[in-house]
Structure 1
Amino acid sequence: MLPAYLPNPVAALCGGGAPIDAGRQYRDGRRFFGDGKTWRGLFAGIMAGVAVGVLQIWASGAYDISMLPQQTFLSVALLSVGALLGDLAKSFFKRRLGKERGAKWPIADQYDLVAGAFLLLLVFSPAWLFSEVTLLSFICILILTPLLHRATNIIGYVLKVKEVPW
């Protein structure tokens, strides 16, 4: 899951610049995503996820790491892009509900990246998803994701990258 876990914090760290929605509003009068979703953050996050995934591919070839899922370039790209698309989708619905940037949205805030990553895998590489993500690894993902989400958000808050620690 590293290619899915890494893009969000990197996007927050490297973000800024032009917002993805270019300031446009949806028909409800609210922004599509808001200022926190930028092109620079999106591309930096995807590149970081792909880079760590390529490193995993190399490491699995150089070392015997058969207990981990065998990444492919496609799986790495889908995990990375899907994680950030899941985050964008969550932001879109968050705005529709009238929640401001940084407002808590339990469960959605923690699992948006997992949902986006798995949805893209399901659509574009279902064979990889069902062969490499076992029930045990899926349960581990469900348990570890909120813990990692909380830890990275606290770190981001301490480093002044995030305005709130959640």
Structure 2
Amino acid sequence: MQKPNLIGMVNFVSFVIEGAVLIGSAIWLMLPAYLPNNIAAIGGGGTPIDFGKKWTDNKRIFGDGKTIRGFILGVFAGILIGFCQIFAENSGMVPWFFPHSIIAVITLAFGSLLGDMIKSFFKRRKGIERGGEWFLIDQYDFVIGALLLTLLCDPEWMINTMNFSLLITILVITPLLHRTVNIIGYKMGLKKVPW
């Protein structure tokens, strides 16, 4: 009878734990950017940000899906969750995660919806209507907007916080989380399409 390889089992368990901590860290880090899109979709409606205006190509600038109320609620939710995270980090409740700065929280939340709006602008130029899928761009627009704005406004936090492993983890889990949340929203009747 073969004895179990204890070193192999320990290495496997260690690998799983490190992976779970890395995924948890990535989600925790990006929560102020992940939340605004969902809150904007749920709480949106009302006056469009582009006020119904058209661009020089005679197509809407952003479309009816980007509203003032949705933008304000989304950014507010991202900042609120970020401030809760800062409180938890400073009180030692989550000592293993990376501390957020106030500027990073604001730019992650604001940049998330800014990236989504820029994507919508280009979707309208390409003739993709509201609710139409733009593969991968729909999954990364808010992450790119959030990270770029944060890099511009709080480079010290980005350099001290974001490492290669975290960045790759964010890029891998974001489309999976995005699709899962959108499918749940679609099944609950909160979204018209599952993407």
**2:145 aligned with 1:151, yes or no?**
no
Structure 1 equivalent of residue 81 of structure 2: 52
The alignment covers a number of residue pairs equal to 166
Shift of residue 160 of structure 1?
A: 1.5
**2:192 aligned with 1:163, yes or no?**
yes
Cα distance in 1 between the residues matched to 2:185 and 2:129: 19
**Runs of 5+ unmatched residues, structure 2:** 1-29
1:111 to 137, 140, 148: 140
Structure 2 equivalent of residue 94 of structure 1: 123
- CA deviations on 1:1-48 (whole Å, 9 max, x unpaired) are 000000000000000000000000000010000000000000000000
Contact 1:2–1:52 (8 Å) recurs in 2: yes
Cα distance in 1 between the residues matched to 2:69 and 2:46: 7
1:35 to 46, 56, 64: 64
Contact 1:17–1:40 (8 Å) recurs in 2: yes
Cα distance in 1 between the residues matched to 2:111 and 2:88: 23
Q: Give the TM-score of the pair, scaled to structure 1.
A: 0.97
Shift of residue 142 of structure 1?
A: 0.6
Contact 1:16–1:40 (8 Å) recurs in 2: yes
Contact 1:69–1:133 (8 Å) recurs in 2: no
Cα distance in 1 between the residues matched to 2:169 and 2:94: 18
Amino acid at match of 1:39: I
Structure 2 equivalent of residue 121 of structure 1: 150
**Runs of 5+ unmatched residues, structure 1:** none
Amino acid at match of 2:118: A
Shift of residue 83 of structure 1?
A: 0.2
2:94 to 62, 65, 75: 65
What's the secondary structure of 1:102's corresponding residue?
Answer: coil
What's the secondary structure of 2:157's corresponding residue?
Answer: helix
Cα distance in 2 between the residues matched to 1:5 and 1:126: 20
**2:109 aligned with 1:80, yes or no?**
yes
Amino acid at match of 1:29: N
Shift of residue 64 of structure 1?
A: 4.9
Cα distance in 1 between the residues matched to 2:178 and 2:66: 18
Shift of residue 156 of structure 1?
A: 1.3
Amino acid at match of 1:121: T
Cα distance in 1 between the residues matched to 2:88 and 2:133: 37
Q: Give the TM-score of the pair, scaled to structure 2.
A: 0.83
Extract structure 1 runs of 4+ deviating beyond 3 A.
Answer: none
